[in-house]
């Protein structure tokens, strides 16, 4: 008579790719680059065919026990490392890795890692990144769209707007790739109303906001390195 025993999986280590660096412990996974993987090292304690697994499944799950990713290993000897690549939709979740060894018939046993938070990283904190923000500005006469050297001179003068064109440049050192596209958002500060219904002869269909004095910023969504003009009220202090 043959007697089979349950295979015993064991997790010996977990590593987290955090913003280009590898952490061998902790409660946070903060992936930024495609190489920032979650790596788990495991083994199955078996010495004979009677306690060896038929196969092993390694699964990445979230806090609701949903399966995010998984790998099946049909032959395992010694220590094995299984890696999971980061995905944008993992951000904000809590995840853990589950290792299930399947033995003879219905025999199986599970080993799991502790749950960790998948946290976002601020763009300005991306490892090896460099940011440069510049802008060009001009004043235009609202009614004609003509350029002018200054703003509205007095209460009785013609209304002016400031045309602001920003340029944000993002450079990343080395050959690393971000795991998801990076979007740059320029946001208005001290807004004082919405004038998007105003038509400007030289700049049709340009989105316009009124802002306080010279505190000028954009609210337009563009990719890194590109720029688009925006308008704002321009009056002398």
Bridge partners, residue 21, by sequence? 18
Q: Which domains does the chain have, with CATH numbers?
A: 8-121 (2.60.40.1930), 124-234 (no CATH)
**Residue among 13, 7, 11, 15 nearest 75 (CA):** 7
Q: What is the CA radius of gyration of the chain?
A: 29
The residue among 69 and 163 whose pLDDT is bigger is: 69
- 228 or 130, which is more confident? 130
Q: What is the pLDDT of residue 204?
A: 42
The whole-number pLDDT of residue 17 equals 97
Asked if the model's pLDDT at residue 196 lies above 60, the reply is no
Summarised one tens digit per residue, pLDDT across range 62-78 is 999 999 999 999 987 78
The pLDDT value given to residue 190: 54
Highest mean pLDDT among 39-43, 74-78, 120-124: 39-43
pLDDT tens-digit map of 94-110: 999 999 999 999 999 99
Task: Give the model's pLDDT for residue 135.
Answer: 79
Tell me the mean pLDDT in the region 169-194. Answer: 75
DSSP strand pairing (191-194 vs 209-211): antiparallel
Residues 162, 217 contacting (CB under 8 angstroms):
no
Q: What is the pLDDT of residues 123-145, one digit of tens each?
A: 889 999 998 888 777 788 777 77
């Amino acid at each position: 008579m043959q007697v089979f025993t349950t295979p015993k999986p064991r997790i010996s280590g977990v590593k987290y790719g955090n913003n280009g660096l590898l952490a061998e412990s902790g409660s946070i996974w903060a992936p930024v680059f495609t190489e920032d993987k979650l790596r788990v090292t495991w083994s199955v304690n078996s010495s004979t065919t009677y306690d060896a697994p038929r196969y092993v499944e390694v699964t990445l799950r979230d806090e609701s026990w949903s399966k995010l990713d998984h790998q099946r290993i049909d032959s395992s000897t010694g220590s094995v490392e299984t890696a999971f690549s980061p995905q944008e939709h993992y951000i904000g979740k809590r995840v853990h890795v589950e290792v299930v060894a399947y033995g003879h018939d219905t025999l199986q046993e599970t080993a799991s890692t502790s749950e960790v938070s998948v946290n976002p990283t601020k763009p300005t904190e991306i490892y090896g990144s460099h940011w440069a923000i510049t802008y060009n500005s001009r004043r235009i006469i609202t009614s004609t769209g003509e350029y002018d050297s200054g703003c509205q001179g007095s209460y009785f003068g013609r209304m002016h707007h400031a045309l602001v064109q920003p340029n944000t440049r993002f450079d990343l050192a080395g050959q690393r790739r971000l795991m998801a596209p990076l979007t740059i958002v320029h946001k208005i500060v001290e807004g004082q109303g919405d004038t998007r219904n105003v038509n400007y002869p030289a700049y049709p269909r340009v989105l316009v906001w009124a802002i306080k004095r010279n505190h000028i910023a954009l609210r337009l969504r563009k990719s890194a390195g590109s720029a688009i003009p925006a308008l704002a009220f321009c009056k002398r202090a």
